[in-house]
Structure 1
Amino acid sequence: MTPRLFIVDDEAPARARLKTLLSDIAAECPHELAGEAGCAQQALDGIAQSRPDIVLLDVQMPGMSGIKLASHLSRAVDPAPAIIFVTAYDEYALKAFEVRALDYLLKPVRAARLADAIRRAAALRAQASPQHAAIGAAASVMSSKRQHFSVQERGRVLLVPVSEVIYLKAELKYVTLRTRLQEYLIEESLTSIEEELGSSFVRVHRNALVARHAILGVERGAQPVDADGEADKSSEQWQVILRDVDERLPISRRQWPVAKALVR
């Protein structure tokens, strides 16, 4: 198999040097360059479209580090590409392997070392089973607290900052992610999100998590009426007032003490 490679580095000269190095080893290590990117969003778009086998990834980049990007790729792309970090910093090696990187190369990279890493990654990828890929992705998800959600929109993979999310609501087999401007659908469980991001979100109902920063207050909802047409105070319903959106979310009886404590 001739592996397809994708380069991610925020510095254009660094990408150019890596492409020159790849050209130098083309005879002993055949490969195809699928694309390159200078930031995380470009990388996600390009990788989702070109489906490379291996990503040569820098660590230090503005906006989102290579470590975080590698974690997102394991969730957003199926099958996820093999990751080889190419960086000038040696202190991130442990974190790199926590997100299932196959190798960690320090700049300036030697040609023989790069060729060996690519051949090894290509061989391991060819042997990998779907079960191994699923295990690797799950381990990557659990390795660090995310700063973004990966969402699919019109064939693209977008990054939505956790700080912009107002609420997450389970509906059928999907979860609706709501920001101030838009809604997205993601295929994650509220339980797993709550376990990971419980410091940022609070459960107000069995089917809804609300960002703590987005809670402005609570108010009584419309009361149901009994058989005589009178308001049924025993079924009083409270709901969350949210920042930047008009929508209200109901608060379950079980979660009412938690929600009430947040707005005291």
Structure 2
Amino acid sequence: MEPAKLKALLTALRPVAEEAGRATLAFYGAAEARTKADGSPVTQADEASEAVILPHLRTLTPDIPVISEEEASKGLSPTVAGSRFWLVDPLDGTKEFLSGNGEFTVNIALIDQGVPVLGIVVAPALGETYWGAADAAFYADKDGARPIHVRPVPPEGLVVVGSRSHGNAQAMEEFLGGRKVAEFRPAGSSLKLCLVARGVADLYPRFGPTMEWDIAAGHAILRAAGGTVRTLEGAELCYGKPECRNPHFIAAGQEAPVH
């Protein structure tokens, strides 16, 4: 898809994602979780966010199918292999949402031939929005919007981000063995990818299960900011896989070692 079209989609969808974020806040601190068939939690906030996003996507791009986490959990996902499609996680980081630490996000991504070409991530409790496409990524908070880019690894060493709720300490320790690490920073949801894109972290190794909708928007933003997401074998992570399950992966910024 041409850059001008991607930019227009970002302009149209950023306020939609932020509206969905506000919808989640209506339940923040009072939501009750139910357990889905796969054992993961879901709340009224997930459903309220999805109810904002999906009608807008289907009106804006009626020819592009949508895979959204809560619809997928009900068996409603379209077949998208090899095509252009939307990936939506209406509330990523449900455990962070329920714990009240603010590190949950609303994620919207556009996939084109397996590649995440557009992403929007809203962290409503933190007042932050990330978005990116076509080699340009941005971050907005209470101080306004500005472009973001991955950074070279500082001389003092890597800042590594990892999951706050789903970590694998042994695999992480083995992977980082021999690398100069200045800090390990736990974080929730797709914010880990966004922190690398923003140039405040350098590496996000993931040695646990994720679904495509968990990371696609953050991957698109990181890609637009100059970073990469690769499998442990070094291949670019792609989308449209059977059952939307990801392998383990390494998200990296500029010059960050991944092997």
Structure having greater relative contact order (Cα 8 Å, sep ≥ 6):
2
Highest Rg: 1 or 2?
1
TM more than 0.5: no
Tell me which protein shows more helix as a share of its residues.
1
